[in-house]
Amino acid sequence: MANKSHLIKPLLGATYPEVAYGKGIYLYDSDGNRYLDGASGAVTANIGHGVTEIIQAMKEQAEKISFVYRSQFTNRPAEELAEKLAQIAPGDLDYVFFVNSGSEAMETALKIAIQYWQEIGKPQKNRVISRWTSYHGITLGALSMSGHVLRRNRFSSLLADYPAVSPPYCYQCPFYETYPSCGMKCANELETAIQRIGPENVAAFIFEPIIGAAGGAIVPPEPYYAKIKEICDRYDVLLIADEVMTGFGRTGKNFAMEHWNVEPDIMALGKGLSGGYTPIGATMVSARIIDTIERGSKVIMSGHTLSGNPQSAAVALAVLDYMNLHQPGENAANLESFVEHELRTIASHYPVVGDIRGKGLLWGLELVTNPETKESFPIHTFVTERTVKKCFEKGLIVYPAVGGINGTSGDAIIIAPPLTISKEEMKMLMKILEEAIAEISHDLD
Ligand code: PLP
């Protein structure tokens, strides 16, 4: 037992290479192997690895102060970060509550929505509606709102009984219809759900603008969010956008909801906020909600010991400054059509790739047994895991996603390299990906 690791890993008993360092889009392990980070880790390292300016900012802040408790002091990095976020956030999302992860950002969003209705004298408006095929985080509140069956199953008895509606998943339409003749039944289902539960009981609708880990970069039909907004407005239901994966240029705009010109009331952020350089998340809240709470109880009943600590805030601030200077989101937008073309070419050569979809530098490939019937592989064949492994062995990191309707079957991988990737590097990524898909296709034959 002498050499047994004490670190609990994602898969107990499995071995993982030990990372030594990272630079740009590459990671290097302690044996000197190089990996092209085609997934930005978990769609997080948006500005790539080892950026000197961020390391410098980390050191400078550490020499001043790393931690203060938020009910004793405010701090300059947190103040400046909040101000800059308010400047770039859509609509009147003017206020920021800092947390340490995307899950916490979603928990806080949920609590603020419920508190808002309490403050205006409607405490019964406390249920949130989410969607199947969604992921909002691993803590119990966030998991309650997540339609990711695989991650929920073990804890279902502890989860809040929140209703979920069908996702806007055109490739595997839950209604077996086709857009636009379907009339967007998926959006209409939200109205039916609100009516069934009673609008007086519904606090918010919660969604990922582009479905990430639970589906593999599923982009809704163009008018979907306008319709969702209209329904929520009609029944006085808040819109909570989970931009944890899609924020900070990932889809070619600062925030994905800008593609549809729909402004949420609350927005959750994580991942790209620090590009992985430090743990930090944020919940952005509209002026209307904060003004109401300020006139009422004045206290947001949430928070963590390390919320808004100056060390994490200074790092995220440096990341925002870096993005402001280099505009990696523009690079993502510019590369979008090239990536789409390359992925479509791969799909045309290998029928196992049933669908490709995405925006900016967030792309999903859904893998199916038969492109005509769109039938998924049986769950025990582990096609997603095998594809991820195959890529990894070839030095390419891709992210596993569950493609099936309830997260119980279906296979998809996500391609989401750092937004700073060049076209040449992207060609290299595609070359390795194609080799891996070719081998997987052959293995599955
Ligand atoms: N929301 C979305 C859309 C995510 O993709 C994730 C993580 O993958 C989360 C929330 C949870 O974030 P974290 O893992 O930082 O808690």
With a 6 Å cutoff on the Cβ, whether 135 touches ligand 1 is yes
Q: Which residue has the least CA distance to atom 7 on ligand 1?
A: 137
Percent of the chain predicted with pLDDT > 70: 98
Cα-to-centroid distance, 31 and ligand 1 (Å): 31
pLDDT at 403 (0 to 100): 56
The model carries a pTM of: 0.97
For the cut 60, the answer to whether the pLDDT of residue 14 exceeds it is yes
Q: DSSP code of 365?
A: E
DSSP 137-153: -SSHHHHHT-B-HHHHG
Judged by average pLDDT, the poorest of 4-18, 195-209, 268-282 is 4-18
Contact of 93 with 263, CB cutoff 8 Å: yes
Q: DSSP code of 66?
A: S
Confidence of residue 355 (pLDDT cuts 50, 70, 90): very high
Confidence of residue 53 (pLDDT cuts 50, 70, 90): very high
Which pair of structure tokens corresponds to residue 16?
Answer: 């993982």
Confidence of residue 404 (pLDDT cuts 50, 70, 90): low
Give residues with Cβ within 8 angstroms of 388, minimum separation 6.
Answer: 398, 399, 400, 413
Residue (of 106, 113, 117) closest to 144 by Cα position: 106
For the cut 90, the answer to whether the pLDDT of residue 406 exceeds it is no
What phi and psi, each to the nearest 5 degrees, are found at residue 98? -90, 140
Q: What's the rounded Cα separation, in Å, for the pair 210 and 192? A: 22
Cα-to-centroid distance, 359 and ligand 1 (Å): 18
Cα-to-centroid distance, 44 and ligand 1 (Å): 10
pLDDT at 409 (0 to 100): 72
DSSP 157-199: GGS----EE----STT-TTS--TTTT--HHHHHHHHHHHHH-G
**Averaged pLDDT of the chain:** 96
Residue 139 CA, closest ligand 1 atom number = 16
Planar angle of CA 423, 352, 365, nearest 5 degrees: 45
Handedness of CA 111, 117, 120, 122 (dihedral sign): negative
For the cut 90, the answer to whether the pLDDT of residue 151 exceeds it is no
pLDDT at 2 (0 to 100): 54
Tens digits of residue pLDDT in 172-221: 999 999 999 999 999 999 999 999 999 999 999 999 999 999 999 999 99
With a 6 Å cutoff on the Cβ, whether 407 touches ligand 1 is no
Query: What is the best residue among 100, 107, 136, 207 to mutate for testing ligand 1's pocket, by most ligand atoms within 8 Å of CB?
Result: 136
Q: What's the rounded Cα separation, in Å, for the pair 404 and 406? A: 6
Go through the chain and tell me how many residues it has. 445
Q: What's the rounded Cα separation, in Å, for the pair 4 and 143? A: 32
* Rounded average pLDDT over 347-371: 97
Other CB atoms closer than 10 Å to residue 16's CB: what's the count? 11
Judged by average pLDDT, the poorest of 105-119, 148-162, 428-442 is 148-162
Contact of 354 with 367, CB cutoff 8 Å: yes
